[in-house]
Structure 1
Amino acid sequence: MAKHKDTEVPINGLYDEEGKMKDASVEQDIPEGDVAEGAEEVEGEEAFSLSQDELEALCRESVCPECDVHKEAEAIKLRSLADAENLKKRLLRETEEMKKYAGESILADMLPILDNLDLALAHTDGLDAACKNFVIGVDMTRKLFLDAVKNHGLEQVDAKRGVDFNPEMHEAVGTVEDGELQNNQIAQVVQGGYFLKGRLLRPAKVMVNKA
């Protein structure tokens, strides 16, 4: 500390020898090297402050479209888009199919009811007149039931005596020799078959003629 006019004046670079404060607007000398180093640090901080999307955008802009890296990246992108589109189509197709055949299990459980009605009608020969009304009632019940399930897409497989055997919708459970029929024709229907909206739900079980 230096004294001036009986007053202690701190000598720390802010005051002159007379005790007056120096001009604050005067900038202190800073070495050019320090300034450059500080600027580089600031620029480095700004560079590392970029987001991931911004960095990827800069990389894409700096990659030549004709180089192998760019071509490979474009090929990967196209394959990914194609895979995503195929997956979307497959999911839509499976969803539509699921909706279309949603009642398949329920209708399949109802087929034995039709089988029993068909079986009852198949054994009506030789009944007396007193059972005639009963047979008519069973036949009407079968028709009503069949009409109801038809509204949900259930249709009978064409399996009648004299129809050619078709392994795509008929199942042979045995063979017979019938001179009235040609070879490989249906001689008898054991159990009816059904389609559900064009898809085979159950094949018709038949006896096939082998002449």
Structure 2
Amino acid sequence: MHRRHPYHPYESANLPGDEEENIVFRDAEPDAPDQARAAEEMAEPFPEAEAQEPLFGQDSLRELEERHRAEMAELHLRSAAEMDNFKKRLAREHEEKMRFAAEKVLGDLLPTLDNFDLALQYGSKDDACKDMLQGLAVTRKLMLEAVARHGLKPVGEEGQEFDPAVHEAVGFEAHSDYAPQSVARVLQSGYRLNDRLLRPAKVMVTP
């Protein structure tokens, strides 16, 4: 018996009796234009990826490398110069500290030196103090030599031109042997520690 499926255009196989029915499906064949189009698509090669241009050319990369090397060299030189300046500054500060390390101690000795000067000045008027004054003069000389080894030196001598940087004028006093604006007499010696003035000399100045 041969009949068609009620819903699909399929053909059924002839079977003995009506006990079993087999349905045979036939695939629809593609149209010729579709087959040709598919063949063309398969035959076409895949498009090759376009070559990307580098972000920087060889010349640009070389310039960047040279600039980087130049900057690193400049940074190295600057760092070396800063380190050298730092070492020199430390050396100067250390030297300055050592030069004036004894400033306080030597400053405390100035009143003692002043007393020696006063004793020699007023004791010279009394002949009874002659022998004692000789001992004081030797002691004063030895003390000045000792402090001079540490950079302390007296400032202010009679006959010098008056210098307000190292002299403190107390008054005027005429002196025939000295020119005007000269130190006529030293009332109190001044002292300098190396290049630093610890105390100006108090003097009388010729008019």
Q: Same fold (TM over 0.5)?
A: yes
Q: Is the CA contact 2:175–2:184 (under 8 Å) kept in the aligned structure 1?
A: yes
2:178 aligned to which of 164, 178, 181? 181
Q: What is the letter of the counterpart of residue 93 of structure 1? A: R
Contact 1:63 1:70 in 2 (8 A): no
SS in 2 for 1:79: helix
Written as runs of structure 1 = structure 2, the 5 A alignment for 1:1-211 is 64-67=64-67, 71-127=70-126, 129-157=127-155, 159-210=156-207
Would you say the 8 A contact 2:183–2:206 is kept in 1? Answer: yes
In the alignment, structure 2 segments of 5+ residues that lack a partner are: 1-60
Say if 2:181 and 2:205, in contact at 8 Å, map to a contact too. yes
Q: Which runs of 5+ in 1 are unaligned?
A: 1-60
The letter for the 1-side match of 2:64 is C
Is the contact made by 2:124 and 2:130 (CA closer than 8 Å) also made in structure 1?
A: no
The one-letter amino acid of 2:82's match is D
Distance 1:75 1:170 in 2: 52
Distance 1:132 1:178, change over 3 A: closer
Deviation at 1:179, TM superposition (A): 4.4
Give the residue type in structure 2 aligned to 1:95. Answer: H
3-state SS of paired residue (2:123): coil
Question: Max radius of gyration: which structure?
Answer: 2
Contact 1:173 1:207 in 2 (8 A): yes
User: What TM-score, normalized by structure 1, do the two folds share?
Assistant: 0.59
Alpha carbons 1:154, 1:197 under 8 Å: kept? yes
State, as a whole percentage, how many aligned pairs show the same letter.
46
